[in-house]
């Protein structure tokens, strides 16, 4: 079958734009896509739900709201077409609000936040933790599956809920079991497949790092904390939020157990996320116990383990 030369050129251009992170992969328009009408004076409760593929004056109202709040829609003006740029703008806005699902659909909740504000702004540093308790988080890979299980169970027995961010390679190597961690009340988030700097990757390569054999979930921590617009867009397209940290222990520099504990107790503040690594000296029951008691002496609690299995795709973290 002969392929028209212009079609080949269009496909080649699309591939280049996707690699550069300038093209958003959008779903096919739904059968229900329609012309949707409203104005900026239309009550929020009376505005129609907007989806990819819709057109009309109500889409223009949406686009102008996004632009006014600093979210790109792919162009500098509202054209009334809910295309890929508007879809990404909606997802990026939803990504910035903890109380909104990142689904690209503008229903009553998203309309209400866009027009009336309120809700909870999302901080990439404290993540979905809305409490004053400290999150103790660990990246990468434990030294062995037995060490992982001992610490997971030990933390549960101490009443501590950890946030664990393993690489996909670690999971494939059999040194981390996500369902086991969730079963013991801990939260498991994505930390890539092979630990690259996402800012050096194409959009399609970032998508790969956010998928299996890595943890497929609603939150992820880019390796090295490396983030740019392409990374933020990729996370939003995948319906994910970025979760970094407030306190970096630098335990990987070879700090002893007591040095790691001392750093956490000295520098962690209420609501902070603390970064450590599973193959260094903070990832054991003794260290965790000392961190908990040291912070308690300062009047600061750690995220509580409530004894229930945690969800695969959490919306919030209950501490």
What CATH number has the domain bearing residue 279? 3.20.20.370
The answer on 183 and 154 residing in a single domain is yes
Residue where a domain stops, chosen among 51, 85, 116: 116
Residue 67 lies in a domain: yes
First to last CA, the chain: 60
Query: Domain range holding 165?
Result: 135-296
The answer on 97 and 152 residing in a single domain is no
Residue 283 lies in a domain: yes
Residue 98 lies in a domain: yes
The answer on 84 and 207 residing in a single domain is no
Q: pLDDT at residue 106 above 90?
A: yes
C-alpha triplet 290, 149, 238: angle, nearest 5°: 100
* Tens-digit pLDDT profile for residues 227-256: 999 999 999 999 999 999 999 999 999 999
* Tens-digit pLDDT profile for residues 123-181: 999 999 999 999 999 999 999 999 999 999 999 999 999 999 999 999 999 999 999 99
What CATH number has the domain bearing residue 83? 1.10.101.10
**pLDDT for the residue 31:** 53
Residue 227 lies in a domain: yes
The answer on 144 and 101 residing in a single domain is no
Residue 316 lies in a domain: no
The answer on 81 and 33 residing in a single domain is yes
**What proportion of the chain, given as a percentage, has pLDDT over 90?**
89
Q: pLDDT band at 1, cuts 50/70/90?
A: very low
**pLDDT for the residue 19:** 42
Residue 255 lies in a domain: yes
**pLDDT for the residue 75:** 86
* Tens-digit pLDDT profile for residues 259-297: 999 999 999 999 999 999 999 999 999 999 999 999 999
* Tens-digit pLDDT profile for residues 48-76: 999 999 999 999 999 999 999 999 999 88
Question: How many separate domains does the chain show?
Answer: 2
**pLDDT for the residue 9:** 42
The answer on 51 and 97 residing in a single domain is yes
User: Which residues have C-beta within 8 Å of that of residue 62, sequence separation ≥ 6?
Assistant: 50, 82, 86, 90, 106, 114
Distance from C-alpha of 211 to C-alpha of 155, rounded to nearest angstrom? 27
**pLDDT for the residue 76:** 85
The answer on 176 and 94 residing in a single domain is no
For 108, other C-beta atoms within 10 Å of its C-beta total 11
- CB distance 274 to 245 below 8 Å: yes
Q: pLDDT at residue 15 above 50?
A: no
The answer on 151 and 100 residing in a single domain is no
The answer on 291 and 187 residing in a single domain is yes
Residue 9 lies in a domain: no
Strand order in the sheet with 247-248: 187-188, 163-166, 135-140, 273-277, 247-248
Distance from C-alpha of 194 to C-alpha of 206, rounded to nearest angstrom? 11
- CB distance 170 to 198 below 8 Å: no
Q: pLDDT band at 37, cuts 50/70/90?
A: very high
Residue 173 lies in a domain: yes
The answer on 243 and 207 residing in a single domain is yes
The answer on 151 and 61 residing in a single domain is no
**pLDDT for the residue 33:** 82
The answer on 93 and 207 residing in a single domain is no
**pLDDT for the residue 27:** 58
Distance from C-alpha of 186 to C-alpha of 163, rounded to nearest angstrom? 6
Nearest C-alpha neighbor of 303 from the set 186, 215, 221 = 186
Q: pLDDT band at 220, cuts 50/70/90?
A: very high
């Amino acid at each position: 079958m002969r392929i028209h030369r212009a079609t080949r050129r269009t496909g080649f251009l699309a591939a280049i734009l996707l690699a550069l992170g300038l093209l958003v992969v959008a779903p096919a328009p739904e059968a229900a896509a329609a012309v949707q009408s409203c104005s900026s004076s239309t009550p929020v409760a009376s505005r129609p739900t907007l989806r990819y593929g819709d057109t009309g004056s109500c889409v223009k109202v949406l686009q102008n709201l996004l632009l006014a709040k600093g979210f790109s829609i792919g162009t500098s003006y509202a054209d009334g077409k809910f295309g890929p740029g508007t879809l990404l703008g909606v997802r990026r806005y939803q990504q910035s609000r903890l109380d909104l699902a990142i689904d690209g659909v503008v229903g009553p909740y998203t309309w209400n936040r866009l027009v009336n504000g309120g809700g909870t702004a999302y901080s990439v540093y404290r993540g979905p933790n809305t409490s004053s308790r400290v999150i103790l988080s660990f990246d990468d890979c434990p030294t062995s599956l037995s060490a992982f299980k001992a610490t997971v169970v030990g933390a549960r027995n101490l009443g501590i809920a950890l946030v664990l961010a393993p690489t996909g390679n670690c999971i494939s190597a059999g040194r981390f079991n996500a369902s086991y961690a969730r079963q013991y009340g801990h939260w498991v988030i994505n930390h890539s497949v092979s630990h690259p700097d996402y800012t050096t990757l194409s959009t399609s390569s970032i998508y790969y790092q956010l998928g299996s054999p890595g943890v497929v979930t609603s939150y992820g921590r880019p390796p090295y904390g490396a983030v740019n617009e392409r990374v933020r867009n990729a996370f939003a397209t995948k319906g994910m939020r970025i979760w970094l940290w407030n306190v970096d222990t630098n335990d990987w520099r070879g700090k002893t157990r007591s040095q790691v504990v001392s750093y956490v107790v000295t520098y962690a503040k209420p609501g902070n996320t603390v970064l450590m690594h599973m193959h260094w000296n903070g990832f054991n029951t003794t260290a965790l116990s000392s961190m908990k008691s040291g912070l308690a002496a300062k009047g600061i609690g750690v995220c509580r383990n409530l004894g229930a299995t945690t969800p695969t795709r959490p919306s919030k973290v209950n501490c």
